[in-house]
A and B are shown apart, each in its own frame.
Chain A
Amino acid sequence: MDGSRKSPKPSVLFLYSMAVSAMAFIFSSPAALAVPAILNSILGFPLGRRSLPMKLVFIILIFNMWGALLNGIYFHNEGFVVLSIGGFAVRSGAFASFITLNLRFFLIIGATLLMLGLSGGSRELVRSLERDLGMPPWIAFSISHAFRLFPLLSRDYGELIVARKEREVGTNIFNPIVLKEVLFSMLSVSYERAVWSGISAELRGVKIRKRSMRGKIELQDLAVLALAAAEWVYAFFSSSLI
């Protein structure tokens, strides 16, 4: 079966997203993060849009931007003045902090969306993590379940908005009260689903399942790993490590 596949292995995509996300925690200069963040966002957002409710992602991005701005102004407002609003000066340090935090976020979410968009279903991900990386089944299941939640969250979100329209209550999730209610409903539905998924996995003997042999690494897998390596090399030479 592996011989006929066109997309990279889910395990390779998982390694890619881990390697690229790690860059967000290791490199701190905007110069090092800019190209990987833009590249992963350009690739990840179109590929991952079927796996996640994009409207919700954008809302979270906007909240993140506000958080990053406030964080920059409170803790890093030093250096030369970039912007002056009334009597208040936004300095280069705040601006750099704002840019860095957002690049990190875009890098992580872009790489995650890229992985979700290309890795197929959760079953393929579990199998691939166990077979290729030798991951214990219960860890592979937990990771896979977390990623499987994204498409389910997307469906829940759609259904919740339909139900809210029927109930003639707000659906604009830019409104914090509506966002709180929608998130609370999504978490409540997801929690019950997670409990039953765990019980179902236990009953199906996830821990005692036999593992198959390792699969072959193909050209598309090497391309993904090479891309991760190239991003690391670029970031390394563009910035000094913390």
Chain B
Amino acid sequence: MGKTVIVVEHKAKYFLDLASEVVVLEGKGRAREFRELDEYDAVSRELDSLGVDASHVVSKRKDRNKKGWKVLEVKNLSCWYGNRDEEPLFEDVELELESGEIVALVGPNGSGKTTLLKAIAGIHKKCNGEVKISDENRKKPFYVPQVPEYLFIKNTLEEEILSLSKKTGKRIEKITEMLEFYEHRKSSSPYTLSLGQRRWLSAVIAWSYNPPLMLFDEPTVGLDKLMLSELFRRIEILKKEGASILISTHDPRVLAEVAERAYVLENRKLKECDPDEKGLELEEIAYGRL
């Protein structure tokens, strides 16, 4: 049809075989053009070095030794969105998570991932079944929404951290050492931080409450490769701090790089799956090969 199509995308790898030209905007008016895309591997490497996600996911070695106690035990959980006489969104869900574990939850859009996270957090009430949280302080899991701004309550980052410290009893220095952008952004509104910074701030807010379990809803949406690497690095920090994390995601990189175990929610059922295999499968789907 002779149409020119311009795709603006962080995950350039899914379009490289279709593209006749790639332009990387480097900021401050600088741009790099790639017109010879036949040398796929070389171009991918060069794009990667510029912070563009252009290479296949690679599974990282993860410590999968279960050493902790059971933080979460879900038994026969069924949830509804509308009336209970309608079909449930999902049924008879069984799920376990141990302390210090990072577990991914995948599934197609509308399969009920967000509702499952909200049911575990005690936010979604139209449910039958058992959700058992083991925490000596009897705290609830903390749900971190896909829109990080929902968790912000103050007009400046400084006020936000002060209020957080007062509420949680965590020392201000302890919180701010998790936020490397704090010093030069403390007078800014938390709403004006970059997307990656906002996502990280919402995670730090959740962490400050010392919940037995953190529930992240699609934390990688809209993040470029550098921001994503930062997020993964920070999630590892949270893990070292003893946090248990359940991440709802579509992102193959979460499965391949940080998740120790994974569950897939589809056709109203939850099944455990291998995170590396599922990551590769999602990657193949994204490439349009499955």
Contacts and interface: CB of A to CB of B under 8 A. Distances in A.
What does DSSP make chain A's interface, helix, strand, loop or mixed? helix
Given A168-B167, A184-B155, A163 B150 contact: yes
Nearest to A168: B167
Contact of A163 (B140, B151, B155, B191): B151
Nearest to A170: B153
B167 A189 contact: no
A6 B149 CA distance: 39
A167 B191 contact: no
A163 B213 CA distance: 16
Main secondary structure of the interface of B (DSSP, over half): loop
B224 to A, nearest CB: 17
A142 interface: no
A181 interface: yes
B26 to A, nearest CB: 22
A181 B163 CA distance: 13
Interface stretch (A30-38, A54-62, A107-115, A154-162): A154-162
B145 A185 contact: no
A185 B205 CA distance: 16
A183 B142 CA distance: 23
B147 A189 contact: yes
A159 B202 CA distance: 14
B77 to A, nearest CB: 19
Nearest to B206: A166
A172 interface: no
Interface string A190-207: 001000000000000000
Interface string B137-170: 0001011010101111111000000010001000
A189 B153 contact: no
Contacts of B153: 164, 167, 169, 181, 185
A23 B275 CA distance: 63
A188 interface: yes
B123 interface: yes
Contacts of A164: 153
A188 B150 CA distance: 10
Query: By CB atoms of chain B within 10 A, which of A160, A162, A166, A189 has the most?
Result: A166
Nearest to A161: B150
Interface in B162-191: 163, 167, 189, 191
Contacts of A181: 153-154
B150 A185 contact: yes
B147 A166 contact: no
Nearest to B191: A188
A213 to B, nearest CB: 26
Interface residues of A, number: 16
Nearest to B151: A163
A152 to B, nearest CB: 11
Interface centre among B140, B147, B205 (most CB of A within 10 A): B147
Contacts of B150: 156, 159-160, 162-163, 185, 189
B166 to A, nearest CB: 10
A76 to B, nearest CB: 37
Contacts of A166: 121, 140, 142-143, 151, 209
Given A166-B143, A168-B167, A169-B167, A188 B205 contact: no
A156 B150 CA distance: 8
Contacts of B191: 188-189, 192
Given A167-B205, A188-B189, A192-B191, A159 B155 contact: no
A16 to B, nearest CB: 30
17 contacts: A162-B123, A163-B151, A166-B121, A166-B143, A166-B209, A167-B167, A167-B205, A168-B167, A168-B209, A169-B163, A181-B153, A184-B155, A185-B153, A188-B152, A188-B191, A189-B149, A189-B150
Interface of A: 156, 159-160, 162-164, 166-169, 181, 184-185, 188-189, 192
Interface of B: 121, 123, 140, 142-143, 145, 147, 149-155, 163, 167, 189, 191, 205, 209
